[in-house]
Amino acid sequence: MNRGLWSTLACAALLLAGCTSGGGQYTDGEVHQELVRLRQMLNRSPALPDGFSDKAQPAWKPPFAAGSRACRAILQATSGHAPPRAIMAQAAVTYEGDLLGELAAVGLASYTGGEADWHMRDLGKALDGCASLASGSGTSLPMRDLPLPVLGDGVDGAVARQARGRLNGYPYALNLMLVRSGDTIISIVHTGLSKVDSKRTQQLARSFLK
């Protein structure tokens, strides 16, 4: 896959003596291995729900301005700009579904020093504090609870919410799920017109836990 599709962040410079970012220290070799691992997770033809293309596209860009700082933090995590403290590497892509307006944005971010747990709790608070993803002329995307499924083994925490409303006058729906598996946070945005199947959102999350 063209590396231009990947949004990755390690350190600003990789020094032979090691790279430090908040919660941990790691070498350039370790950073490279982690980048390879994240790329493989997204590029190994994951078991996506039926109808999704396995050809990864560039990281998702929200088609609206976030309604608040809390909402912005959540959307950034899914579009290749995860919280930077103690981050080791990250990658983000988008998969197209076969339903009208259906997209799945997936962001992966790995952390050192146990910081993934801290970031997950912080992002969970931001998600709770995001009352409306966006509002304005012809746009209203209030957030509401999305029942959490049992995702299975490998899950150390998960939060989810959904938005239903209108975007620029047209029906728009979005499911958002954050899952922590060890030192990795998986961020998923699943979009569609007027309705998004929560079971397909759950299947998307499971695709990246294997």
Fold of 3-207: Protein Transport Mog1p; Chain A (3.40.1000)
Query: Residue 95: CB partners within 8 Å, gap ≥ 6?
Result: 48, 52, 53, 54, 55, 56, 57, 103, 104, 106
pTM comes to 0.85
CB atoms within 10 A of CB 172: 24
Number of residues in the chain: 210
Q: Cα separations (Å) of 27 from 13, 17, 87, 118?
A: 11, 7, 13, 23
Give, to the nearest 10 degrees, the angle between helix 69-78 and helix 115-128.
130
Q: Where are the domains of the chain?
A: 3-207
pLDDT in tens for each of the 210 residues of the chain? 443 344 333 333 332 233 334 445 677 888 888 888 888 888 876 689 999 998 899 999 999 999 899 999 999 988 889 999 999 999 999 999 999 899 999 999 999 988 999 999 999 999 999 999 999 899 999 999 998 777 777 789 999 999 999 999 999 999 999 999 999 999 999 999 988 999 999 999 888 886
